Chain A
Amino acid sequence: MKMIKQLLPIMVLALSFSVNAVAQKGTLRGTIIDDETAEPIFGATIYIQSEGTGTTSDFDGKFKLQLDPGEYTLRISYISYQTIEVEDVEIEEGEVTNLGNIRLNPAITELDGVVVTSSRVTISEAAIMTAKMNSPNVIDGISAEAFSKIGVSDAAEALKNVTGVSVEGGKYVYVRGLGDRYTQTMLNSVEIPSLDPDRNSLQIDIFPTNLINNMVITKTAVAEMPANFTGGIVDIETIDFPEEPIYDFSISFDYNPDMHFNSDFLTYDGSSTDFLGFDSGTRELPAGASDGNIPTPISGNSSQEVYDFVNGFNPTLGPSASTNFANYSASFTLGNQYNVFDDNKLGYIMSLTYKSSSNHYSNYQLGEYQNQPDPSAYDLIYATRQNGTLSEQSVLLGGLTGIAFKTDNSKYKLTAMHLQNGESTAGNFFIDNSQDAPGQSGYTADSYNLEYGQRSITNFMLNGVNYFDNTNWEVNWRSAVTLSSMTNPDIRKTAYTLSLTGANPRFNAGAGGFPSRIWRYMDEVNYANRLDITREYDLFDLPASLKFGGSFVYKERDYEVLSYNLQFFGSQPTFTGDPSEILVEENLYGGGGNIYYQSGNQIPNPNAYNSNVSSYAAYISNEFNPFEKLKVYVGLRAEQFTQRHTGRDALYAQGGSGNNLDNEKVLDALDLFPSANLSYEIGDDQNLRFAYSRTIARPSFKELSFAQILDPVSDRIFNGGLFAIGDWDGNLTETYVNNIDLRWEKYLGLNEMLSASLFYKSFQDPIELVRIQVQQTSSEFQPRNVGNGEVYGAEFEIRKSLNFISESIRHFGLSTNVTLVRSLIDMTEQEYVARKNGEKDGQNVDDTRDMAGQAPYIINAGFTYDNPDNGLDAGFYYNVKGETLTAVGGGLFPDVYSQPYHSLNFSLNKTFGEDGNSTISLNATNILDDAREELYKGFNTADQIFSSYNEHRSFSIGYKYSF
């Protein structure tokens, strides 16, 4: 909130400033790029014969001319390139005409110029495609332009349509179906931390698309990229220098008939700033609650002190029903650039976005199922089933501002970004625990859950590019600070255990448990510095470039969980099952009753840690052409990675001789990562590629620890990987991966292509979260190196206009990409023995299985209509990810597989109005009304629900106006 208040006056100022700057003349802008490489051309001549004026392009290929209103023809030329003429360029008074990318073809012989009309010059998707074609390594991407076409509002949605990408739970990006551990997220080419303590990659749904310029996914490693990825690196590039003045305002509404305007929507009184994505303090930890000795009837405090302390907790323990609203969002973007100090350019961009959404699941189901010990009893039996209602209210507020300054041979960019997200969740579940399942006592309970999740990222980045020696030397440096935090303040769980005899419900420690509340905090700071130096030169009489540089990253994370249990000092009062009847005056200790809170926290807290990483990297690489058709990009990267941990186990925390780490090195290694990317041109429009690289997947902060964390959300216990448990020796190591890629691609025309890839990855000591077999009463997991693994796959992509059928349907296009993957992992002895012991009659347990998190297939498809003449584009988009092993079982516990979610969306955009200033968009989401399901799979028996909910169909309408 503070930040927004500070931003507002600047915004207003900028707005008025830019209005004043409007002159009589019109402005013409454009970028000259090499048609083959998509590289900018420096020093190209832009000449307007009729006026006798002209200019040259800068090192970014960009040019600008001030012209009187009228129609012009441009002539663009550069030595050894085919000269191009652009006709019908219209200049209007006070307006900027942006030609976008103008491609020049390298000319073998001096030919006559090619004439194009200005409306056909460029499409930025095509620019990404060209970049893709000419990149020495395998990349995929999506640009800002495509976002509006497919009608998406956040980055996660947008990435769904990229080859080999799947988006888990609408938040987490997986590349080629590999699990979260093998995907890395970067913001403006520097690493950013995850906002989830259990994940490696960031929830990228918090990036609104209007802050993004493009997203590039690197699938084969190159030396300048960090080595800790295997599936892919998702690099989100925020918008920078605007080519033309931008004053965009957009608004949209999203209506879901099954979820919105629903009078059963569950909510609870939050804070007055919930609508801005953060809690103003009503969910804060009560004063004194983090002390070692909180006031209880037995702590030595007076009854008044106990009463005051208990009163410090919010008395609301259950949700109330109210009617929710539809989703809505609004965003505002402005930007411009000016000439300052002679011909230097200064640009700015500013964007604000606000999004409010609510989800209401009327039939949300969760289950814990088990195998039966009898080999002839195939059916899975439930230990616990929960079903009920879950309602979520989420707010996202994002702001980005940046200034850029460009001189003849350098460019500087400073950006600041803040994203704020708050999600309030309220649920009511019926819990059915079966005494027939091993280790279970059997009970039924009514549970009420209240949660709040607050996530934020603040990022500052300074980036400079300096050119020397006529752009033959490029020095690119960047320095970024990212502050991120994730807080779950006051998660409240209250479960009334129901009587077997029809008596009143009560709280039962051995059944539904006592009411609890939990605070979870995670803060991370990340400093990233990076320097890349590129030298263009000739090798074998062909252009080559030598790249070298390095990076230093320091990141530090603080994590803590604090928990409290409601207790009765004596017998419980008579309850009726209403969560609002518990924390009332007459029930509180010191207020007439006997309720107090007991601490679940040891001092020092074993449920807390601090970890940091220092990572130094240096690399050298060379891109060259041994002969005309072959492009070779080889490199070597060295990373010195040191991870330190401060944390302890429960035995140490209680004063015993347990394990305690005080900023001790838990990982310290210098590794070399070679990479080679070869690209062979077959004709003008085909490439054959080969890539090899060695990469790494390192254990996360909490995995290399003695932490014992009871996750309040999943109710699962996490044991740090350093504990020796059973046959696990506590020696958790990195995973080394060898990657081999082979790809053929054919470019058919503007934004049209065909490609086929094969890839193979071998994993040495992959880490998986292993369920601990000896623990049967609760769900305990530990990260362990399991047996070696292998992944092999194939990818196919086609993007094609239907003009080959008939010119009349040339505006229709088809794009499909399919990824097929086979994964194999060698089971550990523990798992194999557990599975063998649980073998059913007729079953033959193997000692290999699928890799956890690895999808067997991903299909993305789009059927589109795009007509720039009438400003209409529309499309159907479909994605699905195959059945994926998400929780590894064995023995008592069956495996859990996420089920294919068939997502079919429709979107339509129509531009209209004078100068096409207005765009209206219509979207339909989840047209197939598919549910999201994860299922337990047994042998020769029906699947059972691990989790199931349906988002149902939603329909949205949006409007955008550009001033």
Chain B
Amino acid sequence: MNFKVTLTYLSGLFLASMLLISCSDDSTTGTDIPEEPDAENTIVVSDNITEDTVWEDGNIYILGGRISVEAGATLEIEPGVIIKGEAGTGSNATALLVARDATILADGSPTQPIIFTSVADEITPEDVDAGNFGSPNLDPDINGLWGGVIVLGNAPISASNEGTDITEIQIEGIPSSDPSGLYGGNDASDSSGSISYISIRHGGANIGEGNEINGLTLGGVGTGTSISNIEIVANQDDGVEFFGGTVNVSNVLVWNSGDDSIDSDQAWAGTLNNAVIVSPAGSAFELDGPEGNYTSTGHTIQDVTIYMQGNGSELMIDVDANTDVNMSNLFFFGLGTNEGAAAHVISSDYVDYAANTNGYSITNIEAVIPDGLSVEDYFTGGLDAEVTVVGDVANATVGADVSVFGFTWANLSGALSDIGL
């Protein structure tokens, strides 16, 4: 009953809520009272993982707090496993953290993804077996119910706390009394393990002012780590945030991020290839460069389709003067139509970025421009020269290969097809 009220309310407010209704029609049983978890296959994890551990298919693992896989240990998560974080904010927030020199092997499959969600989510291993990867009771815009997944490694970062031998700092959201929160090092080919076919939902709990947990945080993660086919849904902060490191990531979908969808800092030197961004509340891309004297070869973001949330999002691309990114083959649609110059623009620092002497550039953009507005209204600072206007989604020739996202909740709920993807 409550759900209906929520929907009525939302529909009056957001263009994007049309999307919510359509995707939720088949999913709801009410959000009030989660069913008692089946004790048989529910395992509460409240201590750090210090030795090799396997989380087995058919089970639900409850994160009872901030659980670290400590250095030297390997956590293997089998396909189809569901991990649920208990509720809380601040020091009470739950998260899974893979420390430097620890290993995570979380490889799901298109038919058996690994799902990280909240304890409030009633999804069961049986649902996953039946191909119902979406939440039976939580809307895809409910965020902040738990923390997120943090992977840390030994690859170089550019932070201002430069040491004589190694640059390492503490990841945001984790107090320094927890040594598992350190990241950064000299090993560009470091491996933190392998992650694929995972979906992380309803997280992003606030830790303190401006201090929160992203859906997937990658701090100093090296090229030896394999990360692909990732979905982040309704994270209160950023979807995926890279803090330095060298890791390459492909096939990422970020839906309803509470802040930015893709965020980079500290001279990340990897590639993000093939991504879909749907309805960010913050900016689609918040991209920064080095913070210390160390610089890298920069990062590359290519083949991305971005659906801006009408008038509910911030910038399409937020770069500043020292952002070290090359972007290409980007397709933007669903742009906002706010009055004035401030509607869904590229950050004003784009001009400074474009003047960089390292050859970084943003090229080959396609966009659907709302009626009555022009490319220049959106793509300022000279970026309009890179933009080709297309009539609608079907006409786009650049952007993501959406077919790889069949395992995602966004796809199964119809949210992608609703916007023409």
Residues of chain A touching chain B, judged by Cβ–Cβ distance below 8 Å, are 296-303, 370-375, 384, 433, 435-436, 438-441, 443, 493, 495, 499-503, 506, 508-514, 516, 563, 565, 567-571, 573-574, 589-590, 592-594, 598-602, 606-607, 649-651, 653-657, 706, 708, 710, 715, 717, 719-720, 723-726, 772-778, 780, 782, 833-834, 837-838, 891-892
A645–B342 Cα distance when bound, in Å, is: 55
> Contacts A592-B9, A594-B6, A717-B208 known; A654 to B65 CB distance under 8 Å?
yes
B-side contacts of A574, CB under 8 Å: 13
- A-contacting residues, B168-201, CB 8 Å: 168-170, 172-173, 175-179, 182
Determine whether the beta carbon of B204 is less than 8 Å from that of A373. Answer: no
> Contacts A501-B338, A508-B281, A650-B91 known; A833 to B176 CB distance under 8 Å?
no
B-side contacts of A606, CB under 8 Å: 91
Contact with A along B136-170 (1 / 0, CB 8 A): 00010110110000000000000111111000111
Determine whether the beta carbon of B47 is less than 8 Å from that of A837. Answer: no
Determine whether the beta carbon of A598 is less than 8 Å from that of B88. Answer: yes
> Contacts A565-B89, A710-B90 known; A891 to B161 CB distance under 8 Å?
yes
Residue in B92, B182, B204, B336 whose CB lies within 8 Å of A501: B336
> Contacts A300-B34, A656-B46, A778-B208 known; A510 to B258 CB distance under 8 Å?
yes
Determine whether the beta carbon of B2 is less than 8 Å from that of A503. Answer: no
Q: Is B303 an interface residue (CB 8 A)?
A: no
- Which stretch, B100-108, B283-291, B387-395, touches the partner chain A? B283-291
B-side contacts of A516, CB under 8 Å: 206
A296–B202 Cα distance when bound, in Å, is: 15
Determine whether the beta carbon of A573 is less than 8 Å from that of B13. Answer: yes
20 inter-chain pairs at a CB distance below 8 angstroms, sorted by A residue, are A301-B32, A439-B159, A501-B338, A502-B342, A503-B311, A509-B236, A514-B144, A565-B90, A571-B17, A592-B9, A599-B89, A600-B90, A601-B90, A650-B66, A654-B46, A657-B47, A708-B91, A719-B175, A719-B177, A775-B176
Residue in B89, B160, B178, B206 whose CB lies within 8 Å of A892: B160
Given A296-B87, A436-B320, A493-B209, list of 11 further CB < 8 A pairs?
A298-B34, A301-B32, A443-B210, A502-B342, A514-B144, A602-B88, A650-B65, A656-B47, A706-B177, A719-B177, A892-B161
CB distance from B338 to the nearest CB of A (A): 6
Residue of B nearest to A730 (CB): B177
CB distance from B264 to the nearest CB of A (A): 12
Q: Is B240 an interface residue (CB 8 A)?
A: no
Q: Is B312 an interface residue (CB 8 A)?
A: yes
CB distance from A296 to the nearest CB of B (A): 6
Question: Contact residue range for chain B?
Answer: 35 or more
Determine whether the beta carbon of A509 is less than 8 Å from that of B32. Answer: no
Q: Is B373 an interface residue (CB 8 A)?
A: no
Determine whether the beta carbon of A649 is less than 8 Å from that of B177. Answer: yes
> Contacts A298-B120, A500-B314 known; A570 to B177 CB distance under 8 Å?
no
A-side contacts of B292, CB under 8 Å: 373, 438
Determine whether the beta carbon of B282 is less than 8 Å from that of A708. Answer: no
A371–B293 Cα distance when bound, in Å, is: 12
Q: Is B33 an interface residue (CB 8 A)?
A: yes
Residue in A501, A569, A650, A651 whose CB lies within 8 Å of B142: A569
> Contacts A302-B32, A509-B144, A655-B65 known; A773 to B161 CB distance under 8 Å?
yes
Residue of B nearest to A717 (CB): B175
Contact with A along B21-56 (1 / 0, CB 8 A): 000000000011110000000001011100000000
Determine whether the beta carbon of A508 is less than 8 Å from that of B178. Answer: no
A-side contacts of B145, CB under 8 Å: 298
Q: Is B315 an interface residue (CB 8 A)?
A: yes
A439–B172 Cα distance when bound, in Å, is: 8
Determine whether the beta carbon of A511 is less than 8 Å from that of B259. Answer: yes
Determine whether the beta carbon of B320 is less than 8 Å from that of A510. Answer: no
Determine whether the beta carbon of A370 is less than 8 Å from that of B315. Answer: no
Residue in B94, B144, B175, B204 whose CB lies within 8 Å of A708: B175
Determine whether the beta carbon of A715 is less than 8 Å from that of B208. Answer: yes
B-side contacts of A653, CB under 8 Å: 65
Residue in A433, A510, A775, A833 whose CB lies within 8 Å of B259: A510
Determine whether the beta carbon of B293 is less than 8 Å from that of A602. Answer: no
CB distance from A841 to the nearest CB of B (A): 13
Determine whether the beta carbon of A708 is less than 8 Å from that of B177. Answer: yes
A-side contacts of B315, CB under 8 Å: 500-501
A651–B67 Cα distance when bound, in Å, is: 8
Residue in A370, A569, A710, A725 whose CB lies within 8 Å of B176: A725
Determine whether the beta carbon of B91 is less than 8 Å from that of A725. Answer: no
A297–B143 Cα distance when bound, in Å, is: 12
Determine whether the beta carbon of A567 is less than 8 Å from that of B144. Answer: yes
Determine whether the beta carbon of B92 is less than 8 Å from that of A600. Answer: yes
A296–B2 Cα distance when bound, in Å, is: 13
Q: How many A-B residue pairs have CB under 8 A?
A: 269
B-side contacts of A509, CB under 8 Å: 144, 204-206, 212, 236-237, 258-259
Determine whether the beta carbon of B10 is less than 8 Å from that of A570. Answer: yes
> Contacts A509-B237, A571-B14 known; A654 to B64 CB distance under 8 Å?
yes
CB distance from B319 to the nearest CB of A (A): 10
Residue in A600, A710, A774 whose CB lies within 8 Å of B168: A774
Max count, chain A CB within 10 A of own CB: residue among B9, B10, B94, B204: B9
- A-contacting residues, B339-390, CB 8 Å: 339-340, 342-345, 347
Q: Is B276 an interface residue (CB 8 A)?
A: no
Closest 4 CB pairs of A and B: A654-B65, A600-B90, A298-B120, A655-B46
Determine whether the beta carbon of A297 is less than 8 Å from that of B120. Answer: yes
A17–B258 Cα distance when bound, in Å, is: 72
A-side contacts of B205, CB under 8 Å: 509, 598
Q: Is B211 an interface residue (CB 8 A)?
A: yes
B-side contacts of A501, CB under 8 Å: 313-315, 336, 338, 342-345
B-side contacts of A717, CB under 8 Å: 175, 208
Q: Is B260 an interface residue (CB 8 A)?
A: yes
Q: Is B262 an interface residue (CB 8 A)?
A: no
Q: Is B5 an interface residue (CB 8 A)?
A: yes
Residue of B nearest to A500 (CB): B314
A440–B168 Cα distance when bound, in Å, is: 17
B-side contacts of A573, CB under 8 Å: 9, 13
Determine whether the beta carbon of B160 is less than 8 Å from that of A600. Answer: no
Q: Is B128 an interface residue (CB 8 A)?
A: no
A443–B315 Cα distance when bound, in Å, is: 12
Q: Is B324 an interface residue (CB 8 A)?
A: no
> Contacts A570-B142, A571-B10, A775-B175 known; A599 to B160 CB distance under 8 Å?
no
A960–B8 Cα distance when bound, in Å, is: 68
A-side contacts of B67, CB under 8 Å: 656
Determine whether the beta carbon of B208 is less than 8 Å from that of A656. Answer: no
> Contacts A438-B159, A891-B160 known; A654 to B342 CB distance under 8 Å?
no
Max count, chain B CB within 10 A of own CB: residue among A438, A510, A891, A892: A510
A924–B339 Cα distance when bound, in Å, is: 54
A145–B381 Cα distance when bound, in Å, is: 72
Residue in A300, A512, A569, A837 whose CB lies within 8 Å of B209: A512
Determine whether the beta carbon of B210 is less than 8 Å from that of A513. Answer: yes
Determine whether the beta carbon of A373 is less than 8 Å from that of B293. Answer: yes
Determine whether the beta carbon of B210 is less than 8 Å from that of A441. Answer: yes
A-side contacts of B92, CB under 8 Å: 599-602
Q: Is B78 an interface residue (CB 8 A)?
A: no
Q: Is B231 an interface residue (CB 8 A)?
A: no
Residue of B nearest to A306 (CB): B32
B-side contacts of A512, CB under 8 Å: 209-210
A508–B312 Cα distance when bound, in Å, is: 13
Residue of A nearest to B256 (CB): A571
Max count, chain A CB within 10 A of own CB: residue among B6, B160, B260: B160
CB distance from B349 to the nearest CB of A (A): 9
A-side contacts of B209, CB under 8 Å: 493, 495, 512-513, 715
A600–B212 Cα distance when bound, in Å, is: 13
Residue in B159, B293, B338 whose CB lies within 8 Å of A776: B159
A750–B176 Cα distance when bound, in Å, is: 59
A-side contacts of B99, CB under 8 Å: none
A720–B259 Cα distance when bound, in Å, is: 32
CB distance from A383 to the nearest CB of B (A): 9
